[in-house]
Chains A and B, each alone.
Chain A
Amino acid sequence: MYQALLTNRYLTTRVIPLIAVAAVALCVALVIIVVSVMTGFLNMVKSSGRVLMGDVVIQYPVQGIPHFELVIEELERLPEVAAATPVVDSWGLLKMPYPEGPNKDTRYVQIWGIEPESFARVTGYADTLYWRPLKENQRASEHDLRRLMTDQLVEDAMSLRDHRTGRPAIVMGMHVSEGNQRQRDGSYHPLGDGYWWMPQYEVTLTTLPVDTGGDLGLQPESFIFPIVNEFVSGVFVIDNTRVMIPFNVAQRMFHLDEAERVDEQLNPVGVFPGRATIILVRAADGVTPDRLRDMVATAYNDLVVRSRSGDPAFHVPLQREGFGLSIRTWEQQQAQFIGPVEKERELMRVLFSIIYLVCAGLVLTIFWAIVHEKTRDIGILRSVGASRFGIAAIFLRYGAVIGAIGAVFGLGLAWLVVNNINAIHDAVGEDAPRWTWIAAFILAGGALMMAVFEMMRDRMLRLVLWALGTIVLALLGIGLYFHRGTLLWDPSVYYFSKIPNVIDFNTAITTMIGAVIFSVIGAFVPAAKAADTDPVNALRYE
């Protein structure tokens, strides 16, 4: 019972244990922050994949999948399939409406020809459309252009058609236009205070079709599209390069639409069916992507067998993994991103596990000092009947409590940092506000005055502490004065435009348990030393 009383008193009446708690808290916070950001990054890679491409992807690049309507019809008969949609996926050149004057910027973009209605059923397309009226409870600055929006923008994007002219329209990724500036609150504001708001302009899209033999023997196609909306998927690479146009227009621009087949004398002998390069499939509720992939593959192969035994003109390509047509889950499709990130996360976890040793080392060092300081107490306790194990238990318990409190504070600190990581990042990315360095210099001046005051009173420790405070605050002020915005998280490098900001609670719990265990391990040696302390020597200890 006395262990609880002493642990409580040793914790609440001394400074050293607070240093140990702070050390453990910092270690725990560091691990949780790093691994949470890595896990969040991984989850964003994974979830973005699903949002952008559904659960299963059938892909046959360039040449495309003929009779895709039939494939989709077959797939949608499966109870495991909620919806499927065709996509034409290729690349082209986009002439932007800026700058003013005859010479416009042109950039390389990924073109997705989609059927918006079915595409929205398979992917999160509808939710990614950015220009739309604000929701009732949605907070936004008074300059946010969305305050002026109507539902028509969303309707146009969902039909990929300009309601004013009836012309096929384009929806671009938010970062395709360099005029869209991301604000600190995550919203977007076009340059020129809205002047370069894209949905009032047109762009020219140029494609270079490939023939059925895979050669570039065809004329480039150009098409002028009115911009009806922009989307934000959260994946910078996508938002920076992808544009959406109507599926049938994309087919035409890439010569993937239905065409007459002729013999050598140019006599019509049939038709080339229209093609899609990708079919995206969404699973019904409760169906895993892996199971869906197997079902889709089986259905697709059945269709291939049936098609080859019937009309010779009816031909769909064979599925061959790694070559030709492929059927993959979204995770397999994203494997090139997910694999390395998973490995990096594990590497981080292992590397940062060294923190535990630091934690144990800190506790050991601090407890060694505490045991040294408490030598006489140990003698007193032995004289009133405390056992050696009882003495050791005080310090083991003390270690566990310090580990537990440090772990809880560490979690709190990590939660604060991770939750505000984008705000912190944005603040670091800007010049320090004037009041921050002025405040630092005022505090440094105050600390200097206290140092002089203590020097006059001939108090060395306080003089040193205030002098150190002066130096630290002055350096902080100088640092803030000269601080210019630093971009730490470059979205073009890190794939996402936002730093993941959700605590990974699995990691948090294991880290906290680890901190407690290693704090107790750190306390073992001092506890054993305490247990071995000779009570007579301890009582004589000054």
Chain B
Amino acid sequence: MPSTTAQPILQAHALRKTYRMGRVDVPVLKGASIDVHEGEWVAVLGASGSGKSTLLHLMGDLDQPDTPGGGFVRFERHMLAEMHRRDRNVYRNRTIGFVFQFYHLLPELNVLENTILPGLVGMSRLRYWRERGPLRARATELLDSFGLGHRLKHRPRELSGGERQRVAIARALLNKPRILLADEPTGNLDEDTGRDILDLIASQHREGLTIVMVTHDRSIAERANRIVELHGGQVVEQP
């Protein structure tokens, strides 16, 4: 169990996020704060529309909090808002791994290509030619360990939902990220397949990966070390 007194690896502080729907401002997050420590598996529980995904997007630098006074996200000692744009790209590429409810695989690429995509994004052509062997080996190893070794050349449309989500997790893990951000990773799967996916995430957690997972399902949230609930746009710690 990680220590809660140590410096958090990822900290969201007093986050505010407002969406504009036509002429109406709709506040989603109203000062949400959460500290995530290294090696933790935190489940963010909340009803649909409570702002779970928004919180995850802000923590993963896919979105920015309101300005001014919208709070901040800090990775170790680095404030995301103050990081150079290039460093933030590197943050999304190497530090964070995203897993989405709807898998979000590129339909034109096969399983192997989808998996090595984060590796390609972070590489120049020259570096790719130099490191393509280890890169492909890493992707193949991940897919093998997820039971997809025979599906490398298949397109996403040829896979089941569970297989697609395993490819998405393999893609998220390719660059050995410090933190996995999972947005309802089982939300689109049947119960058995969802359990398999959670087992897979749990195995990664056992290997030391920090995980933040949002879900609306308490039974799924209970697989995590710690559960926080988003309520009224704020994070409420659960006992």
By a beta-carbon cutoff of 8 Å, the part of chain A in contact with chain B is: 1-2, 4-6, 9-10, 13-14, 376-377, 379-388, 390, 534-536, 539
B98 to A383, Cβ gap below 8 A? yes
B120 to A379, Cβ gap below 8 A? no
B89 to A386, Cβ gap below 8 A? yes
Q: How far is the CB of B92 from chain A (nearest CB, A)?
A: 4
New A-B pairs, 20, CB < 8 Å, besides A380-B105, A384-B98: A1-B121, A2-B117, A2-B121, A9-B108, A10-B108, A376-B104, A379-B104, A381-B117, A381-B121, A382-B62, A383-B60, A384-B93, A384-B121, A384-B171, A385-B92, A385-B122, A387-B86, A534-B63, A535-B63, A536-B62
Select the stretch in B123-131, B200-208, B213-221, B228-236 that faces chain A: B123-131
Q: Indicate whether B79 reaches chain A with its CB closer than 8 angstroms.
A: no
Return the CB mask of B97-110 against A: 1 if under 8 Å, else 0. Answer: 01010001110110
A5/B98 contact (C-beta < 8 A), A10-B108, A382-B62, A384-B93 known = no
A380 to B106, Cβ gap below 8 A? yes
Closest to B62 in A: A535
A1 to B86, Cβ gap below 8 A? no
What are the residues of chain B within 8 A of A2 when measuring CB–CB?
A: 117, 120-121
* Interface pairs (28), CB distance under 8 Å: A1-B121, A1-B123, A1-B124, A2-B117, A2-B120, A2-B121, A4-B125, A5-B120, A9-B109, A13-B108, A380-B106, A382-B62, A383-B60, A383-B62, A383-B98, A384-B92, A384-B93, A384-B171, A385-B91, A385-B118, A385-B121, A385-B122, A388-B85, A390-B89, A390-B121, A535-B63, A536-B54, A539-B104
B123 to A380, Cβ gap below 8 A? no
Q: How far is the CB of A482 from chain B (nearest CB, A)?
A: 47
Closest to A382 in B: B62
What are the residues of chain A within 8 A of B63 when measuring CB–CB?
A: 534-536
Q: How far is the CB of A166 from chain B (nearest CB, A)?
A: 82
Closest to B104 in A: A380
A539/B100 contact (C-beta < 8 A), A5-B109, A384-B171 known = yes
By a beta-carbon cutoff of 8 Å, the part of chain B in contact with chain A is: 54, 57, 60, 62-63, 85-86, 89-94, 98, 100, 104-106, 108-109, 113, 117-118, 120-125, 127-128, 171
A377 to B105, CA, bound (A): 8
A535 to B53, CA, bound (A): 13
The binding surface of chain A is classed by DSSP as helix
A6 to B113, CA, bound (A): 10
Closest to A377 in B: B106
Closest to A383 in B: B98
A1 to B60, Cβ gap below 8 A? no
B92 to A383, Cβ gap below 8 A? yes
A1 to B85, CA, bound (A): 19
Q: How far is the CB of A529 from chain B (nearest CB, A)?
A: 18
A539 to B121, Cβ gap below 8 A? no
Q: How far is the CB of A366 from chain B (nearest CB, A)?
A: 17
A539 to B92, Cβ gap below 8 A? no
A41 to B212, CA, bound (A): 74
A1 to B104, Cβ gap below 8 A? no
What are the residues of chain A within 8 A of B94 when measuring CB–CB?
A: 385
A384 to B117, Cβ gap below 8 A? yes
Closest to B94 in A: A385
What are the residues of chain A within 8 A of B89 when measuring CB–CB?
A: 385-387, 390
A9 to B120, CA, bound (A): 15
What are the residues of chain A within 8 A of B90 when measuring CB–CB?
A: 385
A403 to B133, CA, bound (A): 33
Closest to B108 in A: A9
Q: How far is the CB of A510 from chain B (nearest CB, A)?
A: 29
A387/B118 contact (C-beta < 8 A), A4-B125, A382-B92, A536-B63 known = no
Say which residue of A6, A388, A539 sits within 8 Å of B108 (CB atoms).
A6
A451 to B137, CA, bound (A): 50
Q: How far is the CB of A535 from chain B (nearest CB, A)?
A: 5
Q: How far is the CB of A177 from chain B (nearest CB, A)?
A: 67
Q: How far is the CB of B125 from chain A (nearest CB, A)?
A: 5
- Give 3 nearest A-B pairs by CB, closest first: A385-B93, A9-B108, A2-B120
Q: How far is the CB of B14 from chain A (nearest CB, A)?
A: 20
What are the residues of chain B within 8 A of A379 when measuring CB–CB?
A: 62, 104
Q: How far is the CB of A1 from chain B (nearest CB, A)?
A: 4
What are the residues of chain B within 8 A of A388 when measuring CB–CB?
A: 85
A376 to B106, CA, bound (A): 9
A386 to B121, Cβ gap below 8 A? yes
Q: How far is the CB of B45 from chain A (nearest CB, A)?
A: 21
A28 to B201, CA, bound (A): 54
Closest to B105 in A: A380
A539 to B106, Cβ gap below 8 A? no
What are the residues of chain B within 8 A of A10 when measuring CB–CB?
A: 108
Closest to A11 in B: B108
Say which residue of B62, B122, B123 sits within 8 Å of A539 (CB atoms).
B62
